[in-house]
Amino acid sequence: MGWVFAVGFILVALLWFATWLRRRTIRAYLLTAGAQTAGISSEYRRGRRAPRIAVRYTDNAGTERVAVKSLVSAGDAQLLAKPAVVLYHPQHRSRSEYVLVGFGKQPQRWFPVEFAPRDFSAH
């Protein structure tokens, strides 16, 4: 019976590693060859959750999108004061895993995003 748990653990570890490797590969591609555009950042509040940063940008097809920084961190208030930069894959621009957001004129740190619902409007 113990071998079932061992096999299950190995399968979960392999799945985690494959997901990590895929995200790392996408991130490396975006940093070398992704399309870059400027965005406008604002505070994003949804229910009782901690406020996050939303970045409104227009992709190369002319579609306006709102990407929300996935992680909440202590320095988010300072990031709102900096200009937002969005990196995305031109062929997969509607998939959030192919979009990164950074802050500052030449961002050193890039953050994963989620897309905001269509009814979101910046305040």
CA distances (Å), 75 to each of 70, 79, 80, 82, in order?
14, 7, 9, 12
Do the Cβ atoms of 21 and 13 come closer than 8 Å? no
Map tokens 């959750």 to a residue: 49
Residue 82 pLDDT: 92
The residue among 103, 107, 115 whose CA lies nearest residue 78 is 103
- Return all residues near 78 (Cβ < 8 A) that are at least 6 apart: none
In this predicted structure, the answer to whether residue 120 has a pLDDT above a threshold of 70 is no
Q: Structural domain boundaries of the chain? A: 1-33, 35-123
Residue 93 pLDDT: 85
Instruction: Read off the pTM.
Output: 0.82
**Tens of pLDDT, residues 36-52:** 999 999 988 877 777 88
Q: Alpha-carbon distance 101 to 70, whole Å?
A: 10
In this predicted structure, the answer to whether residue 109 has a pLDDT above a threshold of 70 is yes
Residue 1 pLDDT: 78
